Amino acid sequence: MSGHESTYTPKTGFEKWLDSRLPIVRLAHDSFVDFPTPKNLNYWYTFGGILAICLAIQIITGIVLAMHYTATVDEAFASVERIMRDVPYGWLLRYVHAVGASMFFLAVYVHMFRGLYYGSYKAPREVLWLLGCVIFLLMMATAFLGYMLPWGQMSLHGANVIIGLFGAIPLIGEGLQTWLMGGPSIGNQTLQRFFSLHYLLPFMIAGVVILHIWALHVPGNNNPTGVEVKDVEKDTVPFHPYYTVKDGFAIVLFLIIFAAFVFYAPNVLGHADNYIEANPLVTPAHIVPEWYLLPFYAILRAITFDIGPISAKLLGVIFMFGSIAVLFALPWLDTSKVKSMRYRPVAKQFFFGFVAAALLLGWCGASNPDDPIIPLGDDKLQVAYTTEAGIDGVAVFAGYEDAAAFRSEKLAEGATASISIKKAPAFRFIHLAQILTAYYFAYFLIILPYLGLRETPKDEPDAIHKSVLGSAAAVPAE
Amino acid sequence: MSDSQTASPETVDEERRDFIHIAAVTATVVGAGAVAYPLVDQMNPASDTKAASSLEVDTTKIPLGGEIRVLIGGKPFFLRHRTAEEIAAAAGVPLDRLPDPETDADRLVPMPDGELNPAMLITSGTCTHLGCVPVGPSQGNTGDYGGWYCPCHGSHYDTSGRIRKGPAPKNLAIPNYEYVTPGVVKISL
């Protein structure tokens, strides 16, 4: 923490010489060795370290993959297959990189939920939270850019959908779209700029991570009680060895799961369509983004209605970006003085509702919005026909045989007729997505601001060390 | 240095200093803008990309009842050689039955002699719903109205490329094109 004095003492002559010129060893010592850390951090707090490992894995495998990858529309797909088949250990490097993206997002979502639950975004850690939101945005941009590079069907058509979103912006939309693609459609020039930016952004993430850690080390860690450190002696332990070991253990467990995906199910989180080379003349039947973007995709598709002059398409884009923008405003939306949900019995329930809503939105994003969840009746067949005299008619049948017989009859009379499915009313994914989208925004914009003023929190412990030692600490040791 | 400055080094001419500040900041901002412009503009379509934004297509090779698909600047276009029945079906539909009313003749471009060529229908190959590429006679599915069918969300287009059923809001767009000769069309983006 900013208050604590450096305990580094250079021992050798070289260390003394360096310390008076560039005190980098002192910085590392004060940041990661003798950094006072609350003694009650649980395993949810290990995901920061896990994320640092994820970033390192992505950068290292990415740099190596770039040595073999060719960013042209004619060769990109083949160069990825060459990595898989011919480059020594290329299959391993590519699978680690592809699975690594998913693991990175898995870890970042746990890290964000941890911050939301323990109120880590509240004063004095607002800047820390904002920098985290910036990292999350950069991660999504990097993942989107990277998904284009294998030049599979989902790469091309997924990117087409996302770039198409910018076209919904009034006035500048079309020009912006052309500017992003560098031409009338996604082509070679688009692939090349995506590759360039995909290589750049992780280093920008690394830069913001440094600021993120700096902003963490000024106020120090939050902790599960949300009570600030009052007595460094009693409330904290040095980062090393206590948390280097705890983080290390969690990293090992995480890497076991990571390795299980890499070696036993490397493609389970991807889409089979992306092993078909991109073809602008054939559209995949279901265009869906990678799993970690599904909740936002569900929000985009949930908006099917216009509001005033704003079209549904633009409104969907506004809501999707709004769902991320609202995270930036969170430190000022949550009015409660109590940080940790441990001591907020009502807010805690709404929080778990929010987690459920986020996960269910992912389910909606993966599903066809028009598919029923709860059918309210059976689908029927509808025969629509137009007689020679130009009179329209519709007849509804339960079975195909009857419908087909009726259609033949009408066709024999010289009418045109066609059979289509008349869907029964149902509670569909689109309806669920709309309800969940409403809850997502209500949680941030209504529930948190209102609850903070009305809720009666439980008693927080007076100090961190009392929560750790429980009732024993209440009895004076003397 | 002037005498006054050497005489009293503590006096600062605030107005001159303000002027220098404003001038320096202005020069820096203009300079930064001048540097930023090419860096931003380089992402716009390059000259060769723009030059590749039109294509001349020989329509005489398209079999009756068939179509060819061409990509111009990565965008798909359909050129369909319609049969007499298809032309009649397209021309015979009352406009009030169309979600996006347009006559078949509105969707054709005159040949050099000023006559329409209803046998050749040229449309964009992008579904107006979410930008998928519809299937047509070459793929063995022309939908309920004999034109095109979009497998993504079930939009049916008729033999004039007009939306008849499904979620698409508009007809398949008619690109900018002209007949160079009666058999050759030049399609531009």
- Cα B138 from Cα B118, distance rounded (Å): 20
A272 CA: distance to closest CA in chain B (Å): 17
Please indicate if any CB of chain A lies within 8 Å of the CB of B151. yes
Note whether B133 and B169 are same-domain residues: yes
| pTM, two decimal places | 0.89
Please answer whether residues B102 and B115 qualify as being in contact, where contact means their C-beta atoms are separated by less than 8 angstroms. Answer: no
Please answer whether residues B145 and B164 qualify as being in contact, where contact means their C-beta atoms are separated by less than 8 angstroms. Answer: yes
Note whether B122 and B100 are same-domain residues: yes
Note whether B53 and B91 are same-domain residues: yes
Please indicate if any CB of chain A lies within 8 Å of the CB of B94. yes
Question: What confidence tier does B6 reach under pLDDT thresholds 50, 70, 90?
Answer: low
| Interface subset of A 337-376, CB within 8 angstroms of B | none
Q: Choosing among A176, A185, A385, A407, which should be mutated to test the B contact, i.e. which has the most B CBs within 10 A? A: A185
Cβ-based burial of B145 (10 A; exposed 0-12, middle 13-18, buried ≥19): buried
**CATH number reported for the structural domain that contains residue B140 in this entry:** 2.102.10.10
Give the pLDDT of residue A3: 63
Say how many CB pairs under 8 Å bridge A and B: 62
Note whether B106 and B170 are same-domain residues: yes
* β partners of residue A427: A374
Which of the pair, B167 or A259, is modelled with greater confidence? A259
Question: What confidence tier does B143 reach under pLDDT thresholds 50, 70, 90?
Answer: confident
Residue in B45, B53, B144 nearest the CB of A182: B45
Across the interface, do A183 and B71 touch by the CB < 8 Å criterion? Answer: no
- How many domains would you assign to chain B? 2
Give the pLDDT of residue A417: 78
- Cα A337 from Cα A330, distance rounded (Å): 14
Note whether B30 and B99 are same-domain residues: no
A423 CA: distance to closest CA in chain B (Å): 13
- Cα A185 from Cα A288, distance rounded (Å): 20
Note whether B87 and B174 are same-domain residues: yes
Please indicate if any CB of chain B lies within 8 Å of the CB of A418. yes
- Cα B117 from Cα B115, distance rounded (Å): 7
Note whether B37 and B126 are same-domain residues: no
Note whether B25 and B69 are same-domain residues: no
Please answer whether residues A291 and A366 qualify as being in contact, where contact means their C-beta atoms are separated by less than 8 angstroms. Answer: yes
Whole domain around residue B19: which residue ranges? Answer: 3-41
Those residues of chain A that have pLDDT short of 70 are 1-3, 470-478
Contacts of A285 in chain B (CB under 8 A): 151-152
Note whether B138 and B165 are same-domain residues: yes
Give the pLDDT of residue A473: 46
Q: B28-57: per-residue pLDDT in tens?
A: 999 999 999 999 999 999 999 888 888 999
Please answer whether residues A276 and A152 qualify as being in contact, where contact means their C-beta atoms are separated by less than 8 angstroms. Answer: yes
Note whether B101 and B81 are same-domain residues: yes
Contacts of A282 in chain B (CB under 8 A): 133
Contacts of A281 in chain B (CB under 8 A): 69, 71, 76, 125, 133
Question: What confidence tier does B9 reach under pLDDT thresholds 50, 70, 90?
Answer: low
Note whether B32 and B121 are same-domain residues: no
Give the pLDDT of residue A26: 95
Residue in B46, B69, B125 nearest the CB of A189: B46
Contacts of B75 in chain A (CB under 8 A): 184-185, 280
Query: Can B129 be counted among the known catalytic residues?
Result: no
Give the pLDDT of residue A437: 97
Which of the pair, B166 or A77, is modelled with greater confidence? A77
Note whether B121 and B156 are same-domain residues: yes
